[in-house]
Amino acid sequence: RDAKQFDPRNREVGHALADLELESENWEAALKAYQGLAIQADNNEGDVRSQAELYLRMGQARHGLGEGGKARQMIDRALELDPTYVDAARFLVELAEGPVRKVEARQRLLGVLEAEYQSFDAEDDRREAREQELLDLRLDLATTLADELNRPDEAVVALRAVIEARPEDISLLHRAL
């Protein structure tokens, strides 16, 4: 509480306090703190990732308050600011309710992960893990499209991408079938 009396213009302190409120599940206080930081960021035009992170955090606070629609709006804004923000895309998947929204959110996550994967150098240690995550996500997406939404054409497209990625992998082919 004493820290709140500190200079409110100090962004680092403000961000740390907002993070503490979020971690403590003081949703309303966290939301207000992040909103204040977002206003400061708009005035100072900080870097895009920092602004996107603020919207992600506001979305998490809105979700904690039970405001799913507003939480999705915050995450959409985060992804507008930074279309490569994987954490925001992952949270959008968490927020998705019902098979149609889950598919839409997973497709968006797939696009974000693909963009990130393409940005990795050939020697980047993260490539293999990201490639496996992309394959797993495509398989999951295909299953949902075929089994829950009865959209076999779209499921086939997802499965084709899996098989094209690793045509020699028999176990992956078996999972796809």
86-114 pLDDT, tens per residue?
A: 999 999 999 999 999 999 999 999 999 99
- Contact between residue 155 and residue 142 where contact means Cβ atoms under 8 Å apart: yes
Buried b or exposed e, range 76-115, using 16+ CB within 10 angstroms: ebbbebbebbeebbbbbbebbeeeeebbebbbbbbebbee
pLDDT at 125: 93
Residue % of the chain over a pLDDT of 90: 67
The type of residue at 110 is L
**Sequence-distant (≥ 6) Cβ neighbours of residue 65 within 8 angstroms:** 27, 28, 31
Q: Against a cut of 0.85, is the pTM above it?
A: no
pLDDT digits (tens, 9 = 90+) for 40-86: 876 556 688 999 999 999 999 999 999 999 999 999 999 999 999 99
- Contact between residue 167 and residue 135 where contact means Cβ atoms under 8 Å apart: no
Residue 146 DSSP symbol: I
